[in-house]
Structure 1
Amino acid sequence: MTEEQHCGKCRKAVCVAKCHGCKKSFCMPHFVKHRLHLAQRMDNLREKFEILQNDINKDNFKQSLLSNIYDWEQRSMRKIHEIAENARKDVEEKLLALKRDVEISIGQIVRDFQANAEADNYTEFELEKWSKRIFNLRDSLEHPSTIEIVEDNKLSSTIYGIKIIEQKRRQESLCTNSISETVSYTSEQSTELIPEHFVPMYGPCRLSEDKYVATHSSYRAGLSQLTGSNNYSSGKHSISFLIEKKGIKNMFIGIHSASNEASSSFDRSIYGWWNLDYVIINGEHEAGDDNLVIQTGDKITLTVDCDNLQIHFEHHRTRKICHIPIELNTCPFPWRILIRLLMADDSIRICN
């Protein structure tokens, strides 16, 4: 006997069609709606292709890189102006002190000069002495030996240069639940462990234990967003998290560009995971379902691989590792970790 199939939407047993993509069966009305939904997604993709082609034709892709150079130029100029202004103030203060010393010396010379002139008590020796003292005082003003301008080689005063690095593009697919412990990448492979701390961005949040623990502080659900204290632009770095408490909704773990100071819940530089197969790319949902694989007590390691333009998500309990390639035009360096909590009392810990 053929197994009775139910519509994936209304659960009716009268099914007339099956989608070979999602593998679900539908009754006729819902199959038509399903195809209309797919057609709408096709239209959205077509629009994205057209926008991409338009950006290519107009060289819009240059703007992100060129704007980074412009930003560096402006920061460097502001730093130079700040250093120069401070140096001018220091010179003014030191010259003022020198001027007061010279005025005191001139007063002494004038009194000596006037006394000898009135008494008609001077010879070539006194004239030569006064002439030499006047010359020395002028020279001390025009060429002060106590003041010297030198370049400061302290790190805090350094203006760093920039260079252009072209990374070889890698064609890699998004992860799915089929990725298991047989994946060749491991979180211990040439990674650097750097202490991290949480930094609140917006939403209800409470930090504790030297900012290693973040807890959703509202009595009801609502978005709470945090970032990290470190910027990542090169190398490979691993950050381990412990899910101390999780409600019925998942937490987001990923990255965003530090150059985008997000003030809302949407940011196109966001890449990461709400779950092992629920992937966010360019701030939008790209693949998977938001099921409840991640649980309280789970340990997760996020590896930020700047050199290969990708991030990895390791779920230790299921021994699964996923990865996402990062596009620099939407997520420029430097990168920062990004955490989103949704449920009251959700809590996550950085395990440094």
Structure 2
Amino acid sequence: MATASIVRCTKCAKNAGTVACEGCSAKFCPRCFNNHRQHLSKELDNIVYEHDILKQELEKPSEDETHPLLRQIDNWRKESIDKINQLADRCHTDVVKLIGDNKNQLADAFRKLTNTIRDGRSEEDYDERHLNMWITQLKELKDNLIKLSNVHVEVDKQQPSWIQKIIVRKDSHQQKEVKDSKL
């Protein structure tokens, strides 16, 4: 005599397990099957909700300044500008000091020239050679006052760049994963 196998509900273990779910291969009684479908419906609602949120994000304008990558670039810009400003301030201070030192040296040279000219005038001890020499010295002093002939501002090409260059790179590994997921 053949015995009939009894199919039980996987949830409540009742004998009335007559409905099979194709997705999970479980067998349910009608009441548990309805509960199972309600649970699946709630999960679908959650998926649709997440889908809608992602859709909104994708439809936003891409000029969103709050993106972490854009903030990273802005931070790099600020730090680099701060470094440039600090170095420029130090160089500016150095040049101001050199200008002051140069003025002091020029003032000393000017006083000596003034005394020489006064002495020549008061003693009437001068000729064309003296006049030409004094005018040349005055012109040199004036030129040196305007332009520091022994000071230059230049780029130190032997030092490595102290501002790190940034680049934007798209990983090819990530591209492959995106392509594979579309297959």
| Residues 55 and 61, structure 1, Cα contact 8 Å, conserved in 2 | no
* Greater per-residue helix proportion: 2
Query: Deviation string for 1:170-228 (max 9, x for gaps)?
Result: 2457xxxxxxxxxxxxxxxxxxxxxxxxxxxxxxxxxxxxxxxxxxxxxxxxxxxxxxx
C-alpha distance in structure 2 between counterparts of 1:95 and 1:146, whole Å: 11
C-alpha distance in structure 1 between counterparts of 2:98 and 2:138, whole Å: 21
C-alpha distance in structure 1 between counterparts of 2:100 and 2:20, whole Å: 89
Q: Which amino acid aligns with 2:56?
A: N
Q: Does 1:149 align with 2:153?
A: yes
Offset of residue 137 of structure 1? 1.9
Higher relative contact order (CA 8 A, sep 6+): 1
C-alpha distance in structure 2 between counterparts of 1:62 and 1:138, whole Å: 57
Match of 1:91 in 2: 95
| Residues 5 and 25, structure 1, Cα contact 8 Å, conserved in 2 | yes
Of 160, 165, 168, the residue aligned with 1:160 is 165
Cα–Cα, structure 1 residues 116 and 169, in superposed 2: closer, same or farther, change >3 Å? same
Query: Deviation string for 1:224-254 (max 9, x for gaps)?
Result: xxxxxxxxxxxxxxxxxxxxxxxxxxxxxxx
| Residues 113 and 134, structure 2, Cα contact 8 Å, conserved in 1 | yes
Offset of residue 88 of structure 1? 1.9
C-alpha distance in structure 1 between counterparts of 2:150 and 2:114, whole Å: 25
Cα–Cα, structure 1 residues 102 and 62, in superposed 2: closer, same or farther, change >3 Å? same
Q: Please report the RMSD computed on the Cα atoms of aligned residues, expressed in angstroms.
A: 4.1
Cα–Cα, structure 1 residues 84 and 22, in superposed 2: closer, same or farther, change >3 Å? farther
Alignment TM-score, normalising by the size of structure 1 = 0.37
Identity over aligned residues, as a percent? 22
Cα–Cα, structure 1 residues 88 and 159, in superposed 2: closer, same or farther, change >3 Å? farther
C-alpha distance in structure 2 between counterparts of 1:41 and 1:79, whole Å: 53
Number of aligned residues? 168
- Greater C-alpha radius of gyration: 2
Match of 2:128 in 1: 124
Gaps of 5+ in 2: none
C-alpha distance in structure 2 between counterparts of 1:37 and 1:92, whole Å: 78
| Residues 8 and 28, structure 2, Cα contact 8 Å, conserved in 1 | no
Offset of residue 125 of structure 1? 2.6
| Residues 9 and 27, structure 2, Cα contact 8 Å, conserved in 1 | yes
Cα–Cα, structure 1 residues 56 and 118, in superposed 2: closer, same or farther, change >3 Å? same
Offset of residue 101 of structure 1? 1.6
Q: Which amino acid aligns with 1:112?
A: T
C-alpha distance in structure 2 between counterparts of 1:92 and 1:24, whole Å: 86
| Residues 5 and 14, structure 1, Cα contact 8 Å, conserved in 2 | yes
C-alpha distance in structure 2 between counterparts of 1:83 and 1:18, whole Å: 76
Match of 1:296 in 2: none
Match of 2:43 in 1: 41
Alignment TM-score, normalising by the size of structure 2 = 0.63
Q: Which amino acid aligns with 1:145?
A: S
Match of 1:246 in 2: none
Match of 2:53 in 1: 51
Gaps of 5+ in 1: 174-352
Cα–Cα, structure 1 residues 144 and 24, in superposed 2: closer, same or farther, change >3 Å? farther
* Greater per-residue strand proportion: 1
Offset of residue 49 of structure 1? 1.6
